[in-house]
Structure 1
Amino acid sequence: MTTLQGRILTAQGWMTGAISFDRHIHSMERRMGVSDAKTIIPGFIDLHVHGGQGADVMEGLQAIGQLARWHAGHGTTSLLATTMSASVPELKQVLSNIHEASQMPHAGGARVLGAHLEGPFINRNKRGAHPLIPMNEDPSRDILDLCDSDIVRVITLAPETIQNRSVLNKLASRGIRVQLGHSTSSYEEATAALQQGASGFTHLFNAMSGLHHRDPGMVGAAFAQAEYAEIIPDLFHVHRGAMLAAFRAIPKLYCVTDASAASGMPDGTYPLGCQKVFKCPNGVCLEDGTIAGSILTMDQALKNLLEIGLDLEDAIRRLSLYPAEYLGLKDRGRLQVGAFADLIVLDANGQLEQVYGEGVAIEPSHG
């Protein structure tokens, strides 16, 4: 049993005291005279991550383990391994690898909760860094085939590419979160998709129809209708002013990294699915300059949220609690008795001092 003391963000708010845990949290209690120099918060949950430290999800089981360890060193205690557009047979193999990774004993990395299937069911004109993959005229059968197991937790699709919209409700009935993205949908099309079973938006603002006061687009639908959406807070994908507007409009807007294999690596060329991307000082791009994922880690995301004006508790909710709630997880994303011991210790300067994933100590990464 491990016991830590400090200022603790519990499910009910801040307290100063002690937390005791092994794989799960066993007790939390207020204590007089405890220093608040250390801050103990829930581990981060990243629902959109393609890679890290040179490894890409599409490369196989070993790569998934490598990126999970990299992000764990930056405070991510659980994640969804996220795919790139590929053929159905290739995606089935990748999903099998993700399933195997999710079943492995904890080995000092982030827990792989499942898969985020991003592509190929997207609009070719808003595909961003995704390769162009041929699709059937109505890909509903392929979608349901890929989502036939419980490993797919989130799927991103463009509703205008789906003729049989009943597939959205079928996915939702399986507990899969359908996110709208990589899309040219109008406000009306996006709103209809929400009514038909969709529940979120993928990297809000990026690769979707934008907001105009006479043509609100997919961004407008998110602002007007959504409870949940994801956003990339690297201050490169989205201007801070747009981020602040979105935080006011969408109650449980949560943060993802959309990190690529270039995260944690020097400038150079790295894999992103079947394509090569180029790391530059601000992020990752294709050769033609198209933004291609990020180099973000969740500890840096926290710093960025604080820099643009969010308070610490609000920022942490958007990195841990809201993504957990979105997936329906009651044992992660918050510090309470019975939950997994996924937690982070920050020092007096707000830097990561220690990370615990399911009670296993993970040394922070520096770099």
Structure 2
Amino acid sequence: MTKNARHAVAAPNVFDGVAVLPDHAVVIEGAHIADVVPMDSLPSSMPVLVLGGDTWLAPGFIDVQVNGGGDVLFNDAPSASAINTIAAAHRRYGTTGILPTLISDTHDKMCAAMLAAQAAAADNPSVLGIHFEGPFLSPGKPGVHNPQMFRKPDAADLELLTGWPAGNVLVTLAPEQVPLEFIAALSQAGVRVSLGHSMATYDETQAALQSGMTGFTHLFNAMRPIGSREPGPITAALEAPAAWFGMIVDGVHVNPEVLRIALRGYGHPMLVTDAMPPVGGKRRSFTLYGNEITVRDGRCTREDGTLAGAAIDMASCVRNTVCDLHVPLTKALCFASTEPAEFLGLGTVLGRLAPGFRADMVAFEPIEVDVLETWVAGVPNEMAEQEAATG
């Protein structure tokens, strides 16, 4: 079976992004899905991979916040090869699309990261764009970011951020630190704008939403908390039916009970990993801004205890969403695929298993969400790894 020939992948449970279809098959032609049909209706001449047991087949996961993976940190290596290493590390956990994420850095580093993402995306369908988390952030909520990198945006920043019309550029910023006109200009150019590392008030957040902002980066973390007289950005996020908020469901960043409250709001939840180099890697430590970051007991922290991203993969986020947030598996899968696809404006080509959509899929057993295989643009991960190994 070649990767371009018309073939099918069948499973006892096919979740197409809307419903679970028992004993169905996804027919693949080239990089796209040709049809989703009952298994017994497939032509006898068609090559079929039949997944056994209680296997589920679902849309591939999309992670819009990936700082690193495979022992590589994007900030340290803003190159196409580094991005490909990061994407490959996450693909083993069902992630078929990523936004490599640059943590607050210099303008020159941002330019290098943009060129790297463009080069990687030209050859690697897993690379959907780029996420700049900063540097237009609040000194009052720096998290692990270096406040010395924080600055106000200028014309050169706007030119850079709007210079990739074919890509998906996401910018996390603190709206109180930038002019509303900057948010509007980004939005009008097709750039996704997300609030994060911010001390914005509720009114400032509402003004940003009205100017085109549609996202909230790792909700609850590094943002003004809800107050009795100042509701802040979290309240605005939960009230906004046209906005998406990222959730790091690792049991460390946010208490599960708090996230369960967030799920009762009107905003659209989506899972993110905020992953650092140890995900899919061999080392349990790395450096950021010259500081050693270590993973212990599931926490990725600086020596002073400050959280520094996460050491979790998307499959584990899905499992935790089911087990800790008491969310049905189908809804958790949507949080990992359909919702981020919609957030990025890719909801007509990614995030579902339907004719015309790209054949990005993940097969897994449903109890622990152990990933068995991942397909990106119709190519199984096993084949992709073999091709990478042979050059």
Q: Report the TM-score when normalising by structure 1.
A: 0.92
Q: For residues 215-364 of structure 1, what are the structure 2 equivalents within 5 Å?
A: 215-225=230-240, 227-265=243-281, 268-272=284-288, 275-308=291-324, 309-329=326-346, 330-347=348-365, 349=367, 350-363=369-382
Q: CA deviation at 1:30?
A: 2.3
Kindly indicate whether the alpha-carbon contact (under 8 Å) linking 2:83 and 2:120 is maintained by their aligned counterparts in 1.
Answer: yes
- Pairs aligned (count): 359
SS of the equivalent of 1:125 reads: coil
- From 13, 17, 28, the equivalent of 2:19 is 13
CA distances 1:125-144 after superposition (whole Å, capped 9, x unpaired): 211111123555x4242431
- From 144, 151, 154, the equivalent of 1:129 is 144
Q: Rate the CA distance shift 1:39–1:268 in 2: closer, same or farther, 3 A.
A: closer
Kindly indicate whether the alpha-carbon contact (under 8 Å) linking 1:81 and 1:112 is maintained by their aligned counterparts in 2.
Answer: yes
CA distances 1:45-64 after superposition (whole Å, capped 9, x unpaired): 00000001210112132221
C-alpha separation between the residues in 2 aligned to 1:218 and 1:135? 20
C-alpha separation between the residues in 2 aligned to 1:345 and 1:153? 29
- From 197, 201, 208, the equivalent of 1:193 is 208
C-alpha separation between the residues in 2 aligned to 1:62 and 1:205? 33
Which amino acid in 2 is paired with 1:319? A
Q: CA deviation at 1:267?
A: 6.2
C-alpha separation between the residues in 1 aligned to 2:303 and 2:62? 31
- From 20, 34, 56, the equivalent of 1:26 is 34
Kindly indicate whether the alpha-carbon contact (under 8 Å) linking 2:168 and 2:344 is maintained by their aligned counterparts in 1.
Answer: no
C-alpha separation between the residues in 2 aligned to 1:273 and 1:318? 32
Give % identity: 30
Q: CA deviation at 1:224?
A: 2.1
Q: Is there any run of 5+ residues in structure 1 with no aligned partner, and where?
A: none
C-alpha separation between the residues in 2 aligned to 1:263 and 1:287? 19
Q: For residues 86-165 of structure 1, what are the structure 2 equivalents within 5 Å?
A: 86-105=105-124, 111-134=126-149, 136=151, 138-150=152-164, 151=167, 153-162=169-178, 164-165=179-180
Q: CA deviation at 1:65?
A: 1.1
C-alpha separation between the residues in 1 aligned to 2:349 and 2:63? 15
Kindly indicate whether the alpha-carbon contact (under 8 Å) linking 1:190 and 1:221 is maintained by their aligned counterparts in 2.
Answer: yes
Kindly indicate whether the alpha-carbon contact (under 8 Å) linking 2:239 and 2:267 is maintained by their aligned counterparts in 1.
Answer: no
C-alpha separation between the residues in 2 aligned to 1:232 and 1:310? 15
CA distances 1:290-341 after superposition (whole Å, capped 9, x unpaired): 1000011001011101102100110000000000011111111110011111
Q: Moved runs in structure 1, 4+ residues, more than 6 A?
A: 33-36
Kindly indicate whether the alpha-carbon contact (under 8 Å) linking 2:89 and 2:281 is maintained by their aligned counterparts in 1.
Answer: no
C-alpha separation between the residues in 1 aligned to 2:252 and 2:74? 23
